[in-house]
């Protein structure tokens, strides 16, 4: 083959590979296809300076993790979170505006579909908002405004002296009402750690997708990404504002679009931060839609005496 022809073929191959890369680059909100709609993933694909692909992945629960491997095989994206034996390998192709993929889970194959997150505008959680009428989700009298996330398990929450509390490793509460942009105020306390037991752990999910960690900070992590009021595994709180387990704590959060400001016990812990994507345990990945408030009850014991959501109407 003549040098000029070889150069032309290499150029065409390079352009083709770059075009394939571009189709996958960026963030994807992912949900399982029927009958696996409860399977929720999140993926981000990047291209490094050396031309190699890298990525982050949220495998349903837990933290957002860097991918161990990610590559293109022809027109297919192939990636894995770790290199353990029999580690699940995802394979995906861009079909129109969607990312269609699959992964082997035991004996079952989960097919899934990814879509691009919303094109968020210039939101400001600290802006001058017009608030609507407050929605009292918990008033100390009943749990009627909530349902259980896991319907095959016992409800797992009860009312005791005007306070709602969960069974240890019980169920998650999901509000029947959904919200888009809003302010939320909660008052809660954590069960003190018992000898040989685990530190109290819960979470408040905004729109059912973004967890603000509720944690006895006795188990504080050095990176802060899993500490009390962290945007779980994504953004650490600016300061530690926790009270001791057994004491009542107050939080206030304002979420507008993909922006979030949070105060814990009167101290600013998140200041108009950007929400990059869903967190572990999200109910779904439909980021552009309203969603419920979810309170985590499937860990250790926690007590809530106030949950009020005030919608932002303008």
The pLDDT, as a whole number, for residue 223 is 79
The pLDDT, as a whole number, for residue 19 is 66
The pLDDT, as a whole number, for residue 20 is 74
Average pLDDT rounded to a whole number, residues 136-142: 96
pLDDT tens track for 226-261:
999 999 999 999 999 999 999 999 999 999 999 999
Closest CA to 94 of 17, 15, 13, 23: 23
> In the chain, what's the furthest Cα-to-Cα distance?
86
State yes or no: pLDDT of 14 exceeds 60.
no
Q: 103 - beta bridge partners? A: 90, 110
Please state, as a whole number, how many other Cβ atoms lie within 10 Å of the Cβ of residue 220: 15
Structurally, at CATH architecture level, domain 3-115 sits in Beta Barrel (2.40)
CB 293 within 8 A of CB 224: no
The pLDDT, as a whole number, for residue 107 is 85
- The Cα–Cα gap between 82 and 65 comes to 9
Across the chain, mean pLDDT equals: 92
What is the domain partition of the chain in residue ranges? 3-115, 135-311
Evaluate if pTM is beyond 0.85: yes
Q: Is the dihedral of CA 150, 155, 160, 163 positive or negative?
A: positive
State yes or no: pLDDT of 183 exceeds 50.
yes
- The Cα–Cα gap between 26 and 94 comes to 12
The pLDDT, as a whole number, for residue 13 is 40
**Per-residue pLDDT band at 221 (split at 50, 70, 90):** low
State yes or no: pLDDT of 284 exceeds 70.
yes
State yes or no: pLDDT of 12 exceeds 50.
no
Beta strands in 85-216 (DSSP E): 90-95, 98-105, 108-115, 135-138, 146-148, 157-160, 163-166, 173-175, 182-190, 201-206, 210-215
46 vs 299, higher pLDDT: 46
Q: Is 52 exposed, middle or buried (0-12, 13-18, 19+ CB in 10 A)?
A: exposed
- The Cα–Cα gap between 153 and 307 comes to 23
Closest CA to 210 of 57, 64, 55: 64
The pLDDT, as a whole number, for residue 220 is 57
Assigned fold of 135-311:
Jelly Rolls (2.60.120)
Closest CA to 148 of 121, 175, 168, 122: 175
DSSP one-letter code for 291: B
- 3-state helix, strand and coil shares in percent for the chain, rounded to the nearest 5: 10, 45, 50
Q: In percent, how much of the chain has pLDDT > 70?
A: 92
The pLDDT, as a whole number, for residue 7 is 45
- The Cα–Cα gap between 260 and 271 comes to 7
Q: 271 - beta bridge partners? A: none
Question: CA end-to-end span of the chain, whole Å?
Answer: 66
The pLDDT, as a whole number, for residue 10 is 39
The pLDDT, as a whole number, for residue 3 is 56
């Amino acid at each position: 083959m003549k040098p000029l022809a070889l150069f032309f073929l290499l150029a065409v191959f390079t352009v083709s590979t770059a075009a394939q890369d571009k189709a996958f680059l960026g963030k994807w909100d992912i949900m399982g296809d029927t009958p696996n709609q409860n399977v929720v993933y999140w993926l981000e694909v990047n291209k490094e300076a050396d031309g190699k692909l890298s990525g982050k992945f949220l495998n349903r629960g837990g933290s957002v993790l860097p991918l161990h491997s990610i590559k293109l095989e022809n027109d297919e994206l192939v990636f894995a979170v770790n290199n353990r034996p029999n580690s699940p390998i995802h394979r995906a192709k861009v079909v129109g505006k969607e990312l269609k993929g699959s992964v082997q889970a035991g004996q079952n194959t989960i097919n899934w579909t990814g879509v691009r997150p919303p094109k968020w505008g210039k939101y400001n959680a600290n802006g001058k908002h017009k608030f609507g009428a407050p929605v009292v989700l918990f008033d100390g009298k009943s749990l009627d405004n909530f349902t259980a996330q896991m319907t095959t398990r016992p409800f797992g929450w009860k009312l005791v002296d005007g306070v709602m509390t969960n069974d240890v490793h019980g169920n998650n509460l999901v509000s029947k009402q959904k919200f888009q942009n809003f302010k939320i105020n909660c008052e809660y306390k954590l069960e003190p750690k018992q000898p040989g037991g685990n530190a109290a752990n819960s979470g408040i999910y905004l729109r059912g997708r973004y967890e603000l960690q509720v944690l006895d900070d006795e188990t504080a992590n050095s990176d802060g990404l899993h500490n009390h009021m962290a945007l779980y595994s994504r953004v650490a709180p600016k300061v530690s504002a926790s009270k001791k387990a057994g004491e009542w704590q107050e939080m206030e959060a304002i979420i507008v679009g993909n922006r979030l400001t949070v105060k814990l016990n009167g101290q600013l812990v998140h200041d108009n931060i950007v929400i990059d994507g869903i967190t572990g345990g999200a109910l779904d990945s439909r980021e552009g839609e309203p969603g419920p408030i979810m309170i985590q009850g499937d860990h250790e014991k926690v007590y809530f005496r106030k949950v009020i959501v005030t919608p932002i109407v303008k």
